[in-house]
């Protein structure tokens, strides 16, 4: 048989989307698989000339998936630019909103994107391998999953007031205090949300036990790991130093996130528009690392909430002293973080300062440059602004979570394709596993726009001369 | 026509024609003589206690609960050149549609969630308008502006007559 190329391409209408090309050998095995991402960088230019206090309102428009992360990272950069650190109450409230974002995003990912694969199987009929199929199998769980996301959204809505873009964090603090009735309203649904997350964890662990063989051959590879930590190396999602560990788990760096450019650089590959960040001292590709839930739990030595910490100990035992390097354990890590976020909600709401009216620092000491870093659900998000003395933004640099994971996603796609795709007949379940390798990282590729209808996948098989042999659409 | 209707527009008003649904909802609100909110972040008034207009950046699972309270739901969105029509108005049925990579829901999926979770099966309609450009601009292109006016008329006629006409305007 002739060598061929398979292309998996979501048909979308704008930049910022991914395409997978799988080059097959004449023997029907995979030669190499590539993940191509058309990076969208236009937003940085769009921000130039705006006032820095507008940025927390403008940058959430980058993305319909994680607007809160951009909102908060932008406000943190604005704090630095304006030289106005927020009062403690404002930091508590911002973190509370962030926890709402983590709960809704992680909850949706596990139960609605990953859950169908895990509960119904990678090879299940695509017509039922979705939430509706899940509903048929476990209706009660599906309703709880929707309620979990709603719980996170309600926290965001309570603080951000608006339905679309949050209006809450501003340079120097936040523009709204929390009322007792709002606090009680959030607390009312907290216990049920924690129970739902714990159910998810039970499902995940049960699935992992039954599918250990798959897990241990599905996108397993070593990298460094990168993310934010508390001062004593605990899991941190809102404010802390960046810790970087190597493939063996040894700390390479722990640095102030404002100095990120001293530690990371970006590599360019001819087959992707998205750059590949790496740790400068080790170079590329030795210095590549992973971010997001798997990265964060690998760099964290503990979690400062009891239930999540107990789960972290189980998670750590998988690696047996080394970082956990199986791609499918992103899902487990994601649920542990969701549990942490829910527990943090309780801690934050119990803090006597959280309902104070001291929410804004109006004294400015203009610095002109600011870096705001936050652990978005998908990984470390960096906003870096340089401004004129009047507060007008001159340059913007954004490094988004999906960018940090670019190498890892490409490697996972290649590894999974080589493991599971055996020609000449390429079955749907094989392609679904390749998609699942990307899904595990929960990339944000939708870039603020939406298309009527679904995002179909087209798999094209092309011979070495570029002639189309076969097209698979579903 | 006593049924409860939800007009659910979605898209990104900062990405040029992607935000056409926001402009269509404003036009429909004008046609119903209800106050147009100052920005997409503000809610619309309810018309006559039975017609609600909602604008969202994207469809999310929990909107299915809202949908379940209505007798009919009309989704409003942009479409690309893959659909040739300038305006397309169609009936849609509940059906879950997979999104392989992202947190992306379709109108049919939302109807299916309302059906499956809340046992509600409102009539479903989709009015989509051709978008031509998706840059970081808040205004619509001239062609999309023109098609948006047709979409407004289609929706108002449906509200006024109670009869939804499936339409494909080139």
DSSP assignment string, B9-69: EES-TTSGGGGHHHHHHHHHHHHTT-PPPSSTTSPPPPBTTTEEEEEESS--TTHHHHHTT
pLDDT lower than 70: segments of chain B:
1-2, 98-103
- Residue B145 is predicted with a pLDDT of 97
Is A68 in CB contact (< 8 Å) with chain B? no
Q: Hey, what's the torsion of the CAs at B100, B101, B107, B110, to 10 degrees? A: 90
Within 8 A by CB and 6+ apart from A115, the residues are A131, A134, A145, A200, A203
Contact A146 B64 (CB under 8 A): yes
Contact B98 A46 (CB under 8 A): no
CB pairs under 8 A between A and B: 140
Is A181 in CB contact (< 8 Å) with chain B? no
Are A27 and A375 in contact by the 8 Å Cβ rule? The answer is: no
CA-based nearest distance B162→chain A, Å = 25
Taking only the tens place, the pLDDT of each residue in A121-160 is: 888 887 777 777 777 788 888 889 889 999 999 999 999 8
ipTM of this complex prediction, to 2 decimal places = 0.75
B contact residues 117-136, partner A, Cβ 8 Å cutoff: 117, 126, 128, 131, 134-136
Taking only the tens place, the pLDDT of each residue in A170-197 is: 999 999 999 999 999 999 999 999 999 9
Topology classification of domain B5-169? Rossmann fold (3.40.50)
Q: Among A303, A279, A285, A282, which residue's Cα sits nearest to residue A293?
A: A303
Residue ending a domain, choose from A325, A342, A357: A325
Tell me, yes or no, whether A246 lies in a domain: yes
Beta strands, E only, A156-304 = 169-170, 173-174, 224-229, 241-245, 251-255, 264-267, 276-279, 289-290
Mean pLDDT rounded to a whole number for chain A: 87
Beta strands, E only, A222-359 = 224-229, 241-245, 251-255, 264-267, 276-279, 289-290
Contact A146 B62 (CB under 8 A): yes
3 state DSSP class of A395 = strand
Q: Residue A472: what are its φ and ψ, rounded to 5°?
A: -115, 120
B contact residues 141-160, partner A, Cβ 8 Å cutoff: none
Is A441 in CB contact (< 8 Å) with chain B? no
Segment A99-119 mean pLDDT? 87
Within 8 A by CB and 6+ apart from B152, the residues are B24, B27, B28, B31
Least CA distance to B15: which residue of chain A? A449
> Residue A424, preceding bond cis, omega within 30 degrees?
yes
Tell me, yes or no, whether A153 lies in a domain: no
Taking only the tens place, the pLDDT of each residue in A195-205 is: 999 999 999 99
> β-strand A18-24 against A30-37: which pairing, if any?
antiparallel
Domain that holds residue A442: 4-38+411-473
- Residue A40 is predicted with a pLDDT of 53
Q: In whole angstroms, what is the distance from residue A420 CA to residue A327 CA?
A: 15
Contact B61 A129 (CB under 8 A): no
Residue ending a domain, choose from A325, A350, A384: A325
Residue ending a domain, choose from A325, A340, A362: A325
Q: In whole angstroms, what is the distance from residue B65 CA to residue A88 CA?
A: 36
pLDDT greater at residue A39 or residue B167: B167
Interface probe with B: pick from A451, A456, A459, most Cβ of B within 10 Å: A451
Domain count, chain A: 2
pTM over 0.80: yes
pLDDT higher than threshold 60 for residue A340: yes
Interface probe with B: pick from A126, A453, A455, most Cβ of B within 10 Å: A453
Tell me, yes or no, whether A114 lies in a domain: no
Is A457 in CB contact (< 8 Å) with chain B? yes
Taking only the tens place, the pLDDT of each residue in A250-300 is: 999 999 999 999 999 989 887 776 788 999 999 999 999 999 999 999 999
> β-strand A173-174 against A169-170: which pairing, if any?
antiparallel
Rg (CA), chain B: 15
Helix extents (H) in A265-305: 292-299
Give the bridge partners for A20, in sequence order. Answer: A8, A35
List the single residue in B41, B109, B116 with the smallest CB-CB distance to A163.
Answer: B41
């Amino acid at each position: 048989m002739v060598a061929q190329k398979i292309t998996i391409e979501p048909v979308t209408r704008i930049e910022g989307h991914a395409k997978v090309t799988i080059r097959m050998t004449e023997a029907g095995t995979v030669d190499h698989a590539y993940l191509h991402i058309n990076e969208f960088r236009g937003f940085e230019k769009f921000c130039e000339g705006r006032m820095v206090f507008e940025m927390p309102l403008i940058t959430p428009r980058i993305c319909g998936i994680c607007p809160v992360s951009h909102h908060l990272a932008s406000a943190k950069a604005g704090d630095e630019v304006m030289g106005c650190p927020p009062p403690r109450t404002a930091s508590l409230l911002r973190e509370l909103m962030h926890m709402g974002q983590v709960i809704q995003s992680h909850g949706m990912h596990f139960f609605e994107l990953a859950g169908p694969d895990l509960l119904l199987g990678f090879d299940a009929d695509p017509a039922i391998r979705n939430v509706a199929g899940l509903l048929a199998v476990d209706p009660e769980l599906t309703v709880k999953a929707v309620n979990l996301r709603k719980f996170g959204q309600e926290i965001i809505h309570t603080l951000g007031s608006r339905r679309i873009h949050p209006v809450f964090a501003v340079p120097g603090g936040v523009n709204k205090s929390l009322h007792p009735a709002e606090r009680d309203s959030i607390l009312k649904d907290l216990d049920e949300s924690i129970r739902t997350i714990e159910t998810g964890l039970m499902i995940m662990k049960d699935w992992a036990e039954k599918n250990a063989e798959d897990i241990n051959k599905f996108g397993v590879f070593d990298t460094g790991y990168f993310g934010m930590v508390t001062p004593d190396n605990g899991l941190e999602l809102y404010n802390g130093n960046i810790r970087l560990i190597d493939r063996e788990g040894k700390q390479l760096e722990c640095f102030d996130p404002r100095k990120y450019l001293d530690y990371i650089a970006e590599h360019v590959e001819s087959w992707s528009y998205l750059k590949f960040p790496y740790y400068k001292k080790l170079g590329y590709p030795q210095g590549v690392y992973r971010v997001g839930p798997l990265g964060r739990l690998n760099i964290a030595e503990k979690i400062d909430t009891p239930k999540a910490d107990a789960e972290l100990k189980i998670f750590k035992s998988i690696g047996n002293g080394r970082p956990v390097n199986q791609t499918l354990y992103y899902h487990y890590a994601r649920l542990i973080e969701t549990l942490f976020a829910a527990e943090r909600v309780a801690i934050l709401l119990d803090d006597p300062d959280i309902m104070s009216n001291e929410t804004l620092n109006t004294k400015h000491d203009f610095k002109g440059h600011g870096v705001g870093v936050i652990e978005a659900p998908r990984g470390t998000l960096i906003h870096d602004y340089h401004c004129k003395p009047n507060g007008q933004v001159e340059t913007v640099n954004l490094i988004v979570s999906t960018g940090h994971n670019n190498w890892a996603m490409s490697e996972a796609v290649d590894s999974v394709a080589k493991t599971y795709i055996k020609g000449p007949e390429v079955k749907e379940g094989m392609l679904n596993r390749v998609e699942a390798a990307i899904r595990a990282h929960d990339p944000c590729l939708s870039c603020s726009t939406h298309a009527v209808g679904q995002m179909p996948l087209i798999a094209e098989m092309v011979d070495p001369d570029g002639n189309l042999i076969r097209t698979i659409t579903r | 026509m006593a049924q409860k209707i939800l007009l659910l527009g979605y898209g990104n008003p900062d990405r040029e024609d992607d935000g056409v649904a926001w402009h269509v909802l404003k036009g429909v609100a004008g046609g119903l003589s209800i106050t147009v909110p100052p920005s997409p972040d503000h809610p619309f008034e309810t018309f006559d206690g039975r017609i609600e207009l909602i604008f969202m950046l994207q469809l999310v699972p929990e909107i299915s609960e809202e949908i379940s309270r209505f007798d009919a739901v009309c989704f409003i969105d942009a479409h690309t050149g893959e659909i040739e029509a300038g305006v397309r108005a169609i009936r849609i049925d509940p059906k879950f549609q997979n999104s392989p990579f992202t947190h992306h829901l379709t109108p049919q999926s939302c109807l299916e969630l309302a059906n499956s979770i809340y046992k509600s099966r409102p009539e479903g309609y989709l009015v989509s308008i051709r978008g031509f450009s998706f840059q970081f601009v808040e205004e619509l292109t001239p062609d999309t502006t023109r098609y948006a006016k047709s979409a407004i008329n289609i929706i108002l006629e449906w509200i006024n007559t109670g009869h939804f006409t499936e339409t494909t305007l080139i």
